Amino acid sequence: MIEFFYNGAPNPLKVGLFLEESGLDYRAIPIDTKKGDQHTGGFKDINPNAKVPAIRDGETTVFDSNAILLYLAEKTGQFLPATSDRGQLLSWLMFIASGVGPYSGQAFHFRNIAPEFPYAIKRYHYEANRHWQIVDDRLEGRRYIMGDIYTIADMAVWGWAPRIPYVLEEPDAFDRFRNIARLMAELDDRPAAKRVHELVASHTFRSELDETAMRNLYPQIFAPDPV
C-alpha cells in the first residue's frame, strides 16, 4: 500500500487526484505544515526538503509532486499519452513544476508576507500571469494539455489553477483564462476530484497564521543573516 503524505496545498492535491483516478490502494497521512510536522526527522527521511507531498511505495520514496505523478503514471501505465508524445508531456510537466508553481507561490508570498519588496511583487506577478497565459494558450482548441487525452499534465494544472484569482489578486481572472476555467470545470466534476476535496476536508489542519506557523512555514524570516 502506498503511503501518501499530504495537506490541502496545491501540490498534494495533484497527487491525490492521480491516486483517486487510478484506483491505487493508498493510505493518506496528513502533514500539518503550520504545526511543523514536515520538520520531524521521520518525515525528512522521506523528503529531505521537508515539503509535501511525498509518497512511500514499499522501499521506494518519491518527493516533489510532478516527480510523483510521473512515477505513478509509469508504475500503472495510466494517464500517459502515446510514446511519440512523451517529449511534449515531459516539457509541459516540467514547465508546470519549474515555472507555474514556483512563480504562483512567490507571487502570493511576496504580496501577502513580504509586501515591503515592491520589485519582487511586480516580478512574480508578471511571471505568474505570463505562465498562466501560456497554459491558457496551450488549451486553445484542445480539450486537454496533450490534446484529446487526459494526462498527468492536466492533474498538475488542476492542483494550482483554483488559486489563480488569489495569486494574481484578480477575482475575475477566469474571465481572461477561459480555457483553463473550462478545463477546471470538467476536472472538478470528476468523482475522483470530489473525493480529493473530501479527503482534505476530513482532517482539520491548523488554520492560524501565528508566529508558530510562520516559523514552521517561513523559517528564513527568523534565521540570522548569513555571515
Q: How many CA atoms lie within 13 A of 173 on its CB side?
A: 19
Q: What is the pLDDT of residue 97?
A: 97
Q: What is the pLDDT of residue 227?
A: 61
Q: What is the three-class DSSP state of 49? A: coil
Considering the chain, tell me which residue range(s) the CATH 3.40.30.10 domain(s) occupy. 2-78+193-219
- Residue 29 vs residues 94, 159, 183, 184: alpha-carbon distances, Å: 26, 18, 29, 26
Q: Which amino acid is at 100?
A: V
Identify the CATH homologous superfamily for domain 2-78+193-219: Glutaredoxin (3.40.30.10)
Cell of 3: 503511503
Q: What is the pLDDT of residue 222?
A: 85
CATH fold of 83-188: Glutathione S-transferase Yfyf (Class Pi); Chain A, domain 2 (1.20.1050)
Q: What is the pLDDT of residue 59?
A: 96
Considering the chain, tell me which residue range(s) the CATH 1.20.1050.10 domain(s) occupy. 83-188
3-state helix, strand, coil in the chain (%, to 5): 60, 10, 30
pTM, two decimals, is 0.95
Q: What is the pLDDT tens value at each position of the chain, 227 positions in all?
A: 999 999 999 999 999 999 999 999 999 999 999 999 999 999 999 999 999 999 999 999 999 999 999 999 999 999 999 999 999 999 999 999 999 999 999 999 999 999 999 999 999 999 999 999 999 999 999 999 999 999 999 999 999 999 999 999 999 999 999 999 999 999 999 999 999 999 999 999 999 999 999 999 998 888 877 76
Q: What is the three-class DSSP state of 75? A: helix
Q: What is the pLDDT of residue 221?
A: 85
Q: What is the pLDDT of residue 226?
A: 72
